[in-house]
Amino acid sequence: MTHRIPPLLPEHLTQEQRTLYDEITGGPRARGPQHFPLTSGDGSLRGPFDLMLRSPAIGTAQQALGAAIRYRSAFSDRARELAILLVAARWDSAFERESHEAVARAIGFSESELASLRAEDISSFTQEEAIVARVIIALLDGDLSDAQWTEASRMLGTDGIFEAIALVGYYSTLALQLRVFRVG
């Protein structure tokens, strides 16, 4: 797959783009263990982060939403990565899959669990993770049935359901952007 646009190099950024670049490279994604690189060897941002620079106003809001989902949501690390990987599987998003599989491995996912998620097979997950997985798949299909709402409300609460919807929307948006711009 050929990229439709070249990545923006740091030395060619406008002030607004540079501010966003600095927020991404200096924010929570850049702190702590790095399971996947944010930048390429030439300093350009990788994956969806370079795309966010194309519209700094929207990109700033988008990256802030992503940081909130990744670092400040109520989901456990495992539940969050399980959810992200289901979105990546549904959209066949290589960048999301590769980057978040690296995160998932670091927090204890097995290779068989990752293979199951690639196939949207959630049968091996139990308890809260199974409920999160069922909710994510239902949201990817478009809605929660009344029975799914009841189950999710009991386990996740309405705040958790809201966070699940935000996660699916955010990572689906990234997957679409990556697909349209042909970012691998």
Domain around 166: 77-180
CA distance 81 to 103: 7
Query: Are 82 and 42 found together in one domain?
Result: no
Give the pLDDT confidence score for residue 69 in this predicted structure.
95
- Give the model confidence (pLDDT) of 143-172 as tens digits: 999 999 999 999 999 999 999 999 999 999
Query: Are 159 and 113 found together in one domain?
Result: yes
Query: Are 93 and 43 found together in one domain?
Result: no
Give yes or no for residue 26 having a pLDDT over 70: yes
Query: Are 151 and 100 found together in one domain?
Result: yes
Query: Are 101 and 171 found together in one domain?
Result: yes
Query: Are 63 and 152 found together in one domain?
Result: no
Residue 159 lies in a domain: yes
- Give the model confidence (pLDDT) of 30-86 as tens digits: 777 778 888 999 999 999 999 999 999 999 999 999 999 999 999 999 999 999 999
Q: CB neighbours (10 Å) of residue 174?
A: 25
Query: Are 107 and 152 found together in one domain?
Result: yes
Query: Are 83 and 33 found together in one domain?
Result: no
Query: Are 145 and 171 found together in one domain?
Result: yes
Domain termination site, one of 27, 42, 71: 71
Domain termination site, one of 71, 96, 123: 71
Residue 4 lies in a domain: no
Per-residue confidence at 1, pLDDT binned at 50, 70, 90?
low
Residue 173 lies in a domain: yes
Q: How many domains does the structure of the chain reveal? A: 2
| Helix/strand/coil for 45 | strand
Residue 20 lies in a domain: yes
Where does residue 8 fall: left (phi above 0), alpha (psi -120 to 50 degrees), or beta otherwise?
beta
CA distance 184 to 180: 11
Give yes or no for residue 3 having a pLDDT over 90: no
Give the pLDDT confidence score for residue 153 in this predicted structure.
96
Two tokens, residue 26: 């200096």
